[in-house]
C-alpha cells in the first residue's frame, strides 16, 4: 500500500479499491450465474451483474463530482473471493450443494462491499463530500438488499435445505 498521509488520500484509496472490486465482480458474476443449477439463483446473479455495472457508474459519478483521480490498483480481497468462487465451481458438482456454496460465497462478497461502502460513506461525511454521500448511500443500500435476497434464497428459498437433503442421501 502506498503511503497514505491524509483522510482525503484514504478516501481515494478506498474508492479505488472498491472500484477494482466492482470491476472484478462484473467479470465473475456471469460465471457464477452459469454455475448455479437453480434458475432463481442464476437469475439473481444475472440481475446483480447489471446492478454492479450501475455501481461502477456511480463511482465514476463520485470521481467526476469530486474531481479526483482513482489509483490503478487491484483489490486483493475481491481477487481472493473470486478465486474462492472458482474453487467452489471446480470442486463441487452441479446441484443443490454447489448452489448453497455459491450463495455463501456471494454473501462474503456482499459483506465485504457493505463494509467498504460503509467506510466510504463515513469518510465522505467527515470530509463534507456532499455530492458523493447520496451516491455512496444508494450503493450501500443495494448491497444490503442483495445480501438479504441471498439469505432468503438460502433459507426461505430452501437452497440450504435442498443441499442438506441431497448430501444426506449421498
Domain boundaries, the chain: 7-169
Radius of gyration of the chain (CA): 17
- What integer pLDDT is reported at residue 154 of this predicted model? 84
- What integer pLDDT is reported at residue 155 of this predicted model? 80
Q: Which tens digit of pLDDT belongs to each residue from 45-96?
A: 999 999 999 999 999 999 999 999 999 999 999 999 999 999 999 999 999 9
Q: Which tens digit of pLDDT belongs to each residue from 95-152?
A: 999 999 999 999 999 999 999 999 999 999 999 999 999 999 999 999 999 999 999 8
> What does each C-alpha distance from 127 to 1, 100, 123, 133 come to in angstroms?
22, 41, 6, 10
Which class does domain 7-169 fall in? mainly alpha
Answer yes or no: pTM beyond 0.75. yes
> What does each C-alpha distance from 71 to 47, 75, 89, 122 come to in angstroms?
28, 11, 32, 20
Instruction: Name the residue with cell 500500500.
Output: 1
Amino acid at each position: 500500500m502506498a503511503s497514505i498521509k491524509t483522510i482525503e488520500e484514504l478516501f481515494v484509496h478506498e474508492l479505488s479499491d472498491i472500484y477494482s472490486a466492482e470491476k472484478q465482480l462484473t467479470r465473475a458474476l456471469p460465471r457464477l450465474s452459469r454455475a448455479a443449477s437453480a434458475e432463481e439463483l442464476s437469475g439473481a446473479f444475472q440481475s446483480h451483474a447489471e446492478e454492479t455495472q450501475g455501481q461502477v457508474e456511480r463511482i465514476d459519478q463520485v470521481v467526476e463530482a469530486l474531481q479526483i483521480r482513482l489509483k490503478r490498483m487491484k483489490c486483493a480481497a475481491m481477487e481472493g473471493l473470486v478465486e474462492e468462487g472458482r474453487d467452489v465451481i471446480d470442486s463441487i458438482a452441479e446441484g443443490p450443494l454447489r448452489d448453497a456454496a455459491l450463495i455463501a460465497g456471494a454473501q462474503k462478497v456482499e459483506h465485504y462491499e457493505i463494509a467498504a461502502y460503509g467506510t466510504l460513506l463515513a469518510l465522505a461525511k467527515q470530509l463534507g463530500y456532499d455530492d458523493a454521500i447520496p451516491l455512496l448511500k444508494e450503493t450501500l443500500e443495494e448491497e444490503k438488499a442483495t445480501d438479504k435476497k441471498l439469505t432468503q434464497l438460502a433459507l426461505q428459498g430452501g437452497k440450504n435445505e435442498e443441499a442438506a437433503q441431497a448430501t444426506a442421501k449421498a
